Structure 1
Amino acid sequence: MSGPVDLTIAICTYDRPELLARTLRSCLAQRNALGLRFEVVVVDNHPSGSAAAVVAQLATETAVPVRYVTETTRNMSVLRNRGFSEAAAPLVALIDDDEVADPAWTDELVGALRRTGADVAVGPRLAVFAEAPPPYDPAGTGFMRDLRLPDGADIPLLDARGKPQHGLGTGNSLFDMARCFPDGAPAMRPEFGDAGGEDFEMFVRLHRSGRRIVWASRAVVTETVLPHRTSTAYRLIRTQREAQHYVTIYLDVAPHPGRVWLSLMAKGLLQLAVGLVLATATWEFGSTRRIAGRQLMAHGLGKLLWRRPVGYIAEPPARLPSGSAS
């Protein structure tokens, strides 16, 4: 493939070579009915360069340009900003290294942007479990992102009071770079990159600056959920961290942050108290089938402890169990 590219697919990865191989193959197997010239850029965040061999092998099997770069700074904003800055195309699609894109993924994302004239498109993320869904969520709905909006609908990131809603991540998203970042400034703020929430903060900032963010309902990716991510302890610490993100971002955009802070702290205390009563009344502590009360407590703790960010959550090496779902 020669000449300028229309689309860059950027993948940030950290020590997930098996999962990354699936992600890459799905990107390289796009139907591409729109006839886009595209490239793939893999940004490796692991000091060992664990993604290098996977990228090198798959690059020999395709005519699509595949580039490998390293960025070992342990900050998600810096990492994703590197993916944006490496892009040679005016459109940049982001997909996570544990996601697999449907064959029409790029057609649907780009098509949604073209049909609506929007600046950003975001699509659904389904889930497939490497072993089984957890007993507390047998349908796995808590591991998916489906806003259930019409195709091409604007995503309302803030309500009338400026309260964040519809939390978004960059996995399965497409950006018109010239419209979203016209001054060439970094897309994500590094101060959010250690504690998390950097991607949603960026979406809220783009929304407040007048950028249109639309829902591409047919641009589907599927995330592989590894067993440790379904454990009760992991879900509770993730819930607490997400509540911290919510408080930080809400205060960052609120016209009256003092009032908002008071209301959030009051809500956090109430959630903690009600969650404790619920968890105690239903004998939830120690259960693998009930989590609602403890999740409500985690929401409350996240609000109350928002100045003590959870940050990165330690995870085991991402290796697929033998015979896991593809």
Structure 2
Amino acid sequence: MDISIIICTYNRVDNLKDCFNCLASQEITSNFAWEVLLVDNNSSDHTKQFTLDYAAQADFKLRYSFESQQGLSHARNHGVNDFTGRILIFIDDDIRVSKNWLQSIVNAFNTQQCDAVGGRIHIESPAKLPKWITLDMYGFLGHQDFGNESRSMDGYKEFPFGGNMAIKRAVFEKIGLFDTSMGRKGTGLKKEELFKGEETDFFHRLADVGGRFYYQPEALVLHKILAHQLKPKFFLTLHNNAGQLESRRDASTYRRTILGIPMFIFPQFVRATVKYIELCVTKGPNFSFRQLMTVTYFLGLMEGYYKKNSL
């Protein structure tokens, strides 16, 4: 098999019809074999039956597989191990791909010396975005757009997002799978479920060994935003958890600490907090929220170091 498309899902059967229908509408202009694997990450709804019923009448090859270990990284790794495609493409169940999406990814691999390809992700919101969600925050909702020109990415500051990423199988054989200590678990509605970072970790590992990344703007997908993702709590939880994850991954030993927290973090936290207060006074809450996210990140960082070194 040339191309394997992996979709991981948990209790979101209502998303699958639109996702599958877009795949069925792909406009293919070259000769390659492709298949789709739906990885059910321990759903309790009728995901399995819906997928099997759809597969029975689909014009493309669709398979169902079950992963009982909760977590997006576990589900993605299951897909890697269960599929045989030379190129593995990952999308989410709330993604709708454009008609030339698959062909444009194949074109990128055929014409470029690259190990991973990422495309554009545009967000679809159920309502008008609140004013406090500024353009530089769209990425936290899964948005990715580096412009209309295709080009290389460095793998550190720029790399594919998980809702639209394609990776050669040889990469997994070289650097391993996604880190299962990271990544969203369950619905992502609870604080303990909303940890990310597995894609960043994976692509940084690939960049460390000389991996090559390519941005293909023609590979456009639409990402459906849920109502809870438009609330301040979502963004603050995301950043608090990111801070905890960063401290957990830090293998350094620090001589000067308070309650297990490295001393140098405290002045950074104070500066971030002072800046937030200044913005609240001068610009108002809509313009200061982005800085509050930074403050929350430092709180998570300190909480993580405290838990790791003092408990």
TM-score w.r.t. the length of structure 1 is 0.78
1:272 aligns with 2:264: no
- CA shift, 1:66, in A, is 0.7
- CA shift, 1:100, in A, is 0.6
**Which residue is 2:173 aligned to?**
182
- CA shift, 1:121, in A, is 0.3
Q: Is the CA contact 2:11–2:43 (under 8 Å) kept in the aligned structure 1?
A: no
Q: Is the CA contact 1:11–1:96 (under 8 Å) kept in the aligned structure 2?
A: yes
Q: 1:265 to 1:191 in 2, by over 3 A?
A: farther
- CA shift, 1:267, in A, is 3.6
Q: Is the CA contact 2:2–2:85 (under 8 Å) kept in the aligned structure 1?
A: yes
Q: What is the RMSD computed on CA atoms of the aligned residues?
A: 2.9
Q: Is the CA contact 1:26–1:103 (under 8 Å) kept in the aligned structure 2?
A: yes
Q: Is the CA contact 1:109–1:173 (under 8 Å) kept in the aligned structure 2?
A: no
**Which residue is 1:218 aligned to?**
218
Match of 1:275, as an amino acid?
Y
1:174 and 1:150 map into 2 onto residues whose CA distance is 18
Q: 1:26 to 1:245 in 2, by over 3 A?
A: farther
Q: Size of the alignment, in residue pairs?
A: 288
- CA shift, 1:73, in A, is 0.9
Q: Is the CA contact 2:6–2:37 (under 8 Å) kept in the aligned structure 1?
A: yes
Unaligned 5+ residue runs, structure 1? 159-164, 310-326
1:28 aligns with 2:24: yes
Q: Is the CA contact 2:24–2:60 (under 8 Å) kept in the aligned structure 1?
A: yes
**Which residue is 1:173 aligned to?**
165
Partner secondary structure for residue 117 of structure 2: strand
**Which residue is 2:192 aligned to?**
none
Q: 1:170 to 1:292 in 2, by over 3 A?
A: closer
Match of 1:182, as an amino acid?
E
Q: 1:33 to 1:126 in 2, by over 3 A?
A: same
Match of 1:172, as an amino acid?
N
1:132 and 1:36 map into 2 onto residues whose CA distance is 40
Q: 1:82 to 1:127 in 2, by over 3 A?
A: same
- CA shift, 1:56, in A, is 1.8
**Which residue is 1:150 aligned to?**
149
1:291 corresponds, among 289, 292, 296, to: 289
Q: Deviations over 1:273-311 (max 9, x none)?
A: 322442355452xx7x862332232233343334489xx
Q: 1:189 to 1:293 in 2, by over 3 A?
A: closer
Q: Deviations over 1:110-162 (max 9, x none)?
A: 211221110100111101112332232377961321133730x221233xxxx
Larger strand proportion of the pair: 2
- CA shift, 1:15, in A, is 1.0
Match of 1:20, as an amino acid?
L
**Which residue is 1:121 aligned to?**
117
> Map of 1:235-250 to 2, 5 A cutoff?
235-245=235-245
> Map of 1:190-229 to 2, 5 A cutoff?
190-193=180-183, 195-229=195-229
Larger helix proportion of the pair: 2
TM-score w.r.t. the length of structure 2 is 0.81
Q: Is the CA contact 1:96–1:171 (under 8 Å) kept in the aligned structure 2?
A: yes
Partner secondary structure for residue 173 of structure 2: coil
Partner secondary structure for residue 297 of structure 2: helix
Q: Is the CA contact 2:89–2:164 (under 8 Å) kept in the aligned structure 1?
A: yes
> Map of 1:49-198 to 2, 5 A cutoff?
50-137=46-133, 142=138, 143=141, 144-148=143-147, 150-151=149-150, 153-158=151-156, 165-166=157-158, 168-178=160-170, 180-182=171-173, 186-193=176-183, 195-198=195-198
Match of 2:179, as an amino acid?
R
1:146 and 1:264 map into 2 onto residues whose CA distance is 32
- CA shift, 1:82, in A, is 0.5
Q: 1:264 to 1:28 in 2, by over 3 A?
A: farther
2:266 and 2:222 map into 1 onto residues whose CA distance is 36
2:41 corresponds, among 36, 39, 45, to: 45
1:139 and 1:283 map into 2 onto residues whose CA distance is 17
